[in-house]
């Protein structure tokens, strides 16, 4: 029984750690920060041309990881590196929360 309690506790702690990046973002603050993103990814999160990915409904955790990678040089893209460079961790979390809140891409409907 004690082992089961420890296991359940560990699972809950891990789930909390995995969810924390998305929980840190503020949707309203992210909406106010989308200016540099709108040209390519749209205010509604739908790419403005086929080469620009849709961000609406994208996982905030994934977006946080990718934006940090662009900003820190771990992922290379001239355009995205320029856009991500000035972003703070909070800016990234807010933008990720905003685009995640938009729901999945409904452009085809």
> Is 37 a member of any domain?
yes
Question: In the chain, which ranges are continuous DSSP H helix?
Answer: 2-23, 27-32, 35-41, 60-72, 78-84, 89-101
Is residue 73 assigned to a domain?
A: yes
Cut 0.85: pTM above it: no
Task: Output the pLDDT for position 20.
Answer: 45
Q: Is 28 exposed, middle or buried (0-12, 13-18, 19+ CB in 10 A)?
A: exposed
Of the chain, the end-to-end C-alpha distance in Å amounts to: 51
Domain at 89, CATH number: 1.10.760.10
Count of domains in the chain?
A: 1
Question: What domain range is 45 assigned to?
Answer: 2-101
Whether 12 is covered by a domain: the verdict is: yes
In a domain, 70, yes or no: yes
More confident of the two residues 24 and 33: 33
In a domain, 87, yes or no: yes
Inside any domain, residue 25: yes
pLDDT tens digits for range 58-95: 999 999 999 999 999 999 999 999 999 999 999 999 99
Nearest Cα to Cα of residue 27 among 104, 102, 107: 102
8 A C-beta contact, residue 79 and residue 8: no
Q: Is residue 106 part of a domain?
A: no
């Amino acid at each position: 029984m004690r082992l089961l309690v420890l296991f359940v506790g560990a699972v809950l702690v891990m789930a909390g750690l995995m969810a924390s990046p998305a929980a840190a973002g503020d949707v309203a603050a992210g909406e106010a920060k989308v200016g540099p993103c709108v040209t390519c990814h749209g205010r509604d999160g739908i790419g403005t041309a086929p080469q620009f990915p849709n961000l609406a409904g994208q996982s905030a955790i994934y977006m946080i990881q990718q934006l940090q990678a662009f900003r820190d040089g771990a992922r290379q893209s001239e355009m995205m590196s320029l856009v991500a460079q000035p972003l703070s961790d909070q800016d990234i979390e807010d933008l990720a929360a905003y685009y995640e809140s938009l729901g999945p891409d409904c452009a085809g409907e």
